[in-house]
């Protein structure tokens, strides 16, 4: 019996699978004991670097099922490529690698996972390799079938795993410097917990994304490689934006999803920072950068200088070419991978990215030949590949009669860009035409006079700007007003969304209607109400207004009672005097009696016409600040500029406007 026991122990340590010579022992196994074993259900994971540490993240249930079906399809599975994560990543089964489809990203490892371990300092369970998991599973099957536990296995890293019973399995790490004569596993510190199957570990498995894609949105980042306070890339931030949208679709468009009216909106990032800084400009900057305060200077070179790059014709051309070509490339690739896509396309930009998109949209041309959009102008000559001649420009400005004057003076477009008001006055040009000419030809109207803007191969439906400095840049360029009739040549919608404490954001509507002061549109809270502290603030404001009006009315009534004559003769005289002034007193009487009623709306301006830049709709939309943010505006200024990626209110407004173009509205909130 001792030889049999030693043989089984050797089997459990080396090869847990039964050998042909041990078949006789299995003949004695009770069939009931054999039926206790159930094969483990695998789940697929991929590795991701988070905070410089490898983290294994499970695929959603639908992707894992597709990978498992492809894995079990046969020998040809090694050459299979399975799209995952809504088609944004491809998994090559043979390589066990996961590749990004639309952007550059390091490939990551993929595993078919069945066994996991976790130490005291680990936040999540880590899957064993597929080969070692198979060894663990075979050992576990043998232990359950024979009802013999306390089996020991040694991993390729000389780590010891002991299966005490189905609920207690531990993993011991070798002690530092320990050899084969070193301490036993039980003397090597706190063991790791070993779990079999996904159902025994605490991990959230998300459902898959809807297959139907209703709309495509490109998102362009602002300055620098990082997009939030956690120094995450544009890809990671857009992933958050997409996750919030999927959650809001389930809660605020539930009826439309149940009726299969909608699927989802796909958000894809557009990166221009990496191509710009790969041109060699970083090397040139490093040569002239001072060695002091190295970290601050590196931060400045990597982020703030992007604004100056955009104002440089050389690097501005690189930026707009990169943004436009990336959006065209991704759009073409998206259509190739989604041939049934029939939805529209919108674009969104954060910070400087919104200005880049604004300039690109301003310089598009309607491919259908619709010239109505050219009747109104921003009065900014954004140079294109086919810029008009001097005669065509003057004709556009309705100043053709002065063409002969410039020909006589031998003045062309380039010379007009250098002319001053005095020069034009000496040529005999009146004041009105002088202003038009200077506004059109003056080079300060555009920071990139020699930039040629590429054309997009599609017409965006809506342009969303998050925390945008567009208004400030237009003002700096010399534009004081946007023509109310102006609209983008190829885009019908424009929403300027910002946080009230965002130091980079500026309004657009005052440039369209400068003579009227009115508040921006307040973005509703995603839970269907105004934030409590804002309601309290408005309530206190109304209360103070009512108290002030009531106090003024009471003081007026008291003053009249004190100044009233106490003698009947004087009262009679006062009555006669009042009768003579009866028309005036009647006009004043309502204001004296009902001073507390002021039905004049403060925030409602239904008669305001904000032009056609957003199809006649409002343009500026402001978020509601959180209660903690209202305590100190300066403390949360930087955070306010980077809050849009995870803002439910922002995402809900984007979804609402996109689906409104398809005739789908939000669910009515339950009372």
Question: What are φ and ψ of residue 136, in 5° steps?
Answer: -60, -40
Which residues lie closer than 8 Å to 271 by C-beta, 6 or more apart? 103, 104, 221, 233, 234, 235, 326
How far apart (Å, rounded) are the C-alpha atoms in residues 557 and 588? 13
Contact yes or no for 66/82 (Cβ under 8 A):
yes
Half-sphere exposure in the Cβ direction for 238 (13 Å, CA): 24
**Across the strands, what pairs with 47?**
56
User: Helical H runs in 564-644?
Assistant: 568-580, 582-593, 637-641
Are 249 and 262 in contact by the 8 Å Cβ rule? The answer is yes
Q: Could you give the CA distance from residue 332 to residue 345 in angstroms, rounded to a whole number?
A: 12
- Between the alpha carbon of residue 74 and those of residues 63, 68, 71, 301, 352, the distances in Å are 18, 11, 7, 53, 51
Paired sense of beta strands 168-172 and 192-196, if any = antiparallel
Sign of CA dihedral 330, 331, 332, 333: positive
Measure the CA–CA gap between 643 and 59, rounded to whole angstroms: 27
Work out the widest C-alpha separation in the chain, in whole angstroms: 135
Report the distance separating Cα 504 and Cα 447, nearest Å. Answer: 19
Query: Is 351 considered catalytic here?
Result: yes
Question: 245, 346, 351, 468: which one is catalytic?
Answer: 351
Classify strands 462-466 and 344-350 as parallel, antiparallel or unpaired.
Answer: parallel
Which DSSP state fits 611?
-
Residue 435 host element (H or E): helix 431-441
Active site residues: 351
């Amino acid at each position: 019996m001792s030889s049999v026991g030693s043989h089984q122990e050797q089997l459990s340590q080396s090869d847990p699978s039964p050998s042909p010579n041990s078949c006789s022992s299995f003949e004695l196994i009770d069939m009931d004991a054999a039926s206790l074993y159930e094969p483990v259900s695998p789940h697929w994971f991929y590795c991701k670097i988070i905070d410089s540490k490898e983290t294994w993240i499970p695929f959603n249930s639908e992707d894992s099922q597709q990978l498992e079906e492809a894995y079990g399809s046969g020998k040809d599975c090694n050459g299979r490529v399975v799209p995952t994560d809504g088609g944004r990543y491809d998994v090559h089964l043979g390589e066990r690698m996961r590749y990004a489809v639309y952007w550059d990203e390091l490939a990551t490892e993929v595993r078919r996972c069945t066994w996991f371990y976790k130490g005291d300092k680990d936040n999540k369970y880590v899957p064993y390799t597929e080969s070692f998991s198979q060894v663990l599973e075979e050992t576990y099957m043998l232990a359950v079938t024979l009802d013999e536990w306390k089996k020991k296995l040694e991993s390729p890293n000389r780590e010891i795993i002991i299966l005490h019973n189905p609920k207690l399995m531990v993993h011991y790490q070798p002690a530092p410097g320990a050899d084969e004569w070193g301490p036993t596993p039980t003397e090597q510190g706190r063991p790791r917990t070993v779990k079999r199957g996904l159902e025994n570990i605490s991990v959230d498995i998300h459902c898959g994304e809807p297959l139907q894609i209703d709309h495509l949105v490109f998102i362009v980042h602002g300055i620098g490689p990082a997009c939030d306070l956690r120094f995450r890339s544009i890809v990671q931030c857009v992933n958050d934006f997409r996750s919030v949208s999927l959650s809001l679709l389930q809660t605020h468009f539930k009826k439309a999803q149940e009726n299969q009216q909608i699927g989802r909106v796909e958000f894809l990032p557009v990166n221009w920072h990496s191509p710009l800084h790969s041109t060699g400009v970083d090397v040139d900057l490093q040569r002239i950068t001072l060695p002091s305060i190295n970290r601050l200077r590196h931060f400045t070179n990597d982020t703030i200088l992007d604004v100056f790059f955009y104002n440089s014709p050389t690097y501005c051309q690189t930026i707009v070419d990169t943004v436009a070509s990336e959006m065209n490339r991704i759009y073409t690739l998206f259509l190739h991978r989604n041939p049934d896509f029939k939805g529209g396309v919108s674009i969104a930009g954060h910070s400087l990215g919104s200005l880049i998109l604004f300039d690109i949209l301003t310089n598009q041309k309607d491919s259908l030949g619709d010239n109505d959009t050219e009747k109104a102008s921003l009065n900014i000559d954004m140079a294109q590949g086919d810029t008009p001649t001097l005669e065509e420009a003057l004709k556009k400005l309705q100043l053709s009669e002065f063409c002969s004057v410039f020909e006589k003076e031998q003045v062309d477009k380039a010379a007009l860009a250098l002319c001053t008001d005095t020069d034009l006055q000496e040529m005999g040009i009146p004041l009105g035409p002088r202003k038009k000419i200077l506004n059109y030809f003056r080079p300060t109207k555009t920071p990139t006079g020699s930039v040629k803007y590429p054309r997009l191969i599609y017409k965006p439906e809506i342009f969303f700007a998050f925390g945008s400095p567009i208004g400030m840049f237009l003002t700096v360029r010399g534009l004081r007003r946007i023509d109310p009739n102006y609209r983008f040549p190829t885009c019908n919608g424009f929403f300027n969304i910002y946080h009230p404490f965002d130091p980079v954001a500026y309004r657009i509507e005052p440039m369209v209607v400068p003579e009227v002061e009115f508040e921006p549109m307040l973005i509703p809270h995603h839970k269907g109400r105004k934030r409590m502290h804002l309601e309290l603030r408005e309530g206190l404001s109304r209360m103070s207004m009512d108290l002030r009006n009531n106090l003024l009315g009471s003081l007026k009534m008291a003053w009249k009672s004190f100044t009233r004559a106490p003698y009947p003769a004087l009262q009679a005289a006062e009555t006669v005097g009042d009768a003579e002034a009866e028309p005036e007193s009647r006009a004043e009487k309502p204001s004296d009696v009902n001073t507390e009623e002021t039905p004049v709306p403060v925030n409602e301006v239904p008669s305001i016409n904000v032009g056609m830049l957003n199809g006649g709709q409002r343009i500026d939309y402001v978020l509601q600040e959180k209660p903690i943010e209202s305590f100190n505006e300066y403390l949360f200024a930087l955070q306010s500029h980077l809050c849009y990626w995870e803002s439910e209110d922002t995402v809900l407004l984007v979804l609402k406007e996109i689906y409104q173009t398809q005739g789908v509205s939000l669910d009515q909130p339950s009372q």
